[in-house]
Amino acid sequence: MTEGGEVEEWSGWAFDAEGRLVDTHQPMEVAAYGPPRPTRWVSPDDLGTVFGLRCALVGRDRTSYGLRCVSEVFESNGGRYLNVVFEAQWYRWRDLAEEHRPARIPRATCVATRHVWIELLDPNPSTDEGEVSR
């Protein structure tokens, strides 16, 4: 308010946590997206192609997440294997211009497929995405 008791033109406006200017006199709107889509874990031996897919490496004591497959499944010495890297390595490799990008990602780790599980998201989520509730 000003000294004369008038309401200032910009009163009731504020910046929210995302930096958007909002009118605080309007009803509050909340975007509800529901739960994330269900995740299924599938053996790479059951899939046709796995290059670029997220995966987890399962060991005796722990499971390592945040990995990507950087090769297709291949056979060697009677076993089935694939190469994996951490996601940060994957994105650094993807960010390189194609003319400077090596064909293979450096320092990939070769792992037996029996220790790797591929993350697949359910293609048909059961909730309406982007539903706005008031």
| Model confidence pLDDT, tens digit, residues 75-84 | 999 999 999 9
Specify if 108 maps to a domain.
Answer: yes
At residue 3, the pLDDT reads: 62
CA dihedral sign of residues 51, 53, 54, 55:
negative
Given a contact cutoff of 8 angstroms between Cβ atoms, the answer to whether 123 and 39 are in contact is no
Specify if 75 maps to a domain.
Answer: yes
Strand partners, 84: 69, 109
Query: Which residues form the domain of 90?
Result: 39-121
* Count: domains in the chain: 1
Residue 82 in tokens: 């694939």
Q: What is the pTM of this model?
A: 0.66
Query: What backbone torsions phi and psi does residue 14 show, to the nearest 5 degrees?
Result: -150, 160
What mean pLDDT is predicted for residues 109-131? 78
Specify if 132 maps to a domain.
Answer: no
Whether the predicted pLDDT of 43 surpasses 50: yes
CA-to-CA distance for 32 and 18, rounded, in angstroms?
A: 16
Specify if 65 maps to a domain.
Answer: yes
Specify if 82 maps to a domain.
Answer: yes
Whether the predicted pLDDT of 47 surpasses 70: yes
At residue 114, the pLDDT reads: 96
